[in-house]
Structure 1
Amino acid sequence: MASRQTRLRVISLYKELHRLGRDYPDPSYNFHGKLRGLFEKNKDLKDEAEIEKAIKLGEYIRNETLALYSLRKYRHLKRMYPAVSPTDPFP
């Protein structure tokens, strides 16, 4: 049986991923549906090592999603400001 601390980690990870999914750039991807499916698939895990492996996968997905958002924000800012040309007298 999973410990209370592990259970709280999983719930916290799910909530964080759910919040991140609100801003997912591709609405046709169905982020929340896939997220729920992954968590429901692993709800019956009993082995601590398997649970830890699933948590690590969730943390990896969280980090990759955050990186995707950072890249999206960077690209948006890059488009908003024109590039400075070397012939421009006022950079």
Structure 2
Amino acid sequence: MSTELKHAVKQLYKTLIFIGREYPKGGIYFRDKCHAAFMKNKDVTDPAEIKMLISRGEYVVKELEALYRLRKYRTLRKRYYDSETFEETMLKNIRYFDEK
């Protein structure tokens, strides 16, 4: 495996561990699963397969970021809106402005 691929794998691992600290089931749970996934693929030597695994890992990073953004959005929405959904709020506002 080339030095460039080794660096990419290490960087992906560090990124996943860092992002996984906020995982809903806990950072230790995520770290253990991440470590198991990397150890499962430690004997892969084909550069094309390594690149494919790195791209899959980068996809997981993007999905985790989206998960965290969604959690943040839901928390903020709960603070500013009551129990009604966004659609219910919009319909209520439309009806209010139609009456005027």
TM-score interval for Structure 1 and Structure 2 normalised by the shorter chain: 0.7 to 0.9
Structure 2 equivalent of residue 49 of structure 1: 48
Q: Report percent identity of matched pairs.
A: 42
Structure 2 residue runs of 5 or longer lacking an equivalent are 83-88
Letter of the structure 2 residue corresponding to residue 32 of structure 1: R
Return structure 1 stretches of 4+ with deviation > 3 angstroms.
83-87
Distance in 2 of aligned mates of 1:62 and 1:71: 14
Give the corresponding residue for 1:79.
78
Aligned equivalents of 1:28, 1:62: Cα separation in 2: 14
Query: Which runs of 5 or more residues in structure 1 are unaligned?
Result: none
RMSD between aligned residues: 2.0
CA distance in 1, matches of 2:8, 2:28: 26
- Rg comparison, structure with higher value: 2
Alignment of 1:63 with 2:62, yes or no, is: yes
For residue 30 of structure 1, give the secondary structure of its aligned residue in structure 2.
helix
Greater relative contact order (Cα < 8 A, sep 6+): 1
1:10-67 Cα shifts (integer Å, max 9, x gaps): 1011001001111111239921111000001111111011101110111111111111
Supply the distance in 1 between the matched residues of 2:65 and 2:27 (Cα, whole angstroms): 19
| Bigger helix fraction | 2
Q: Normalising by the residue count of structure 1, what TM-score does the alignment of the two structures yield?
A: 0.84
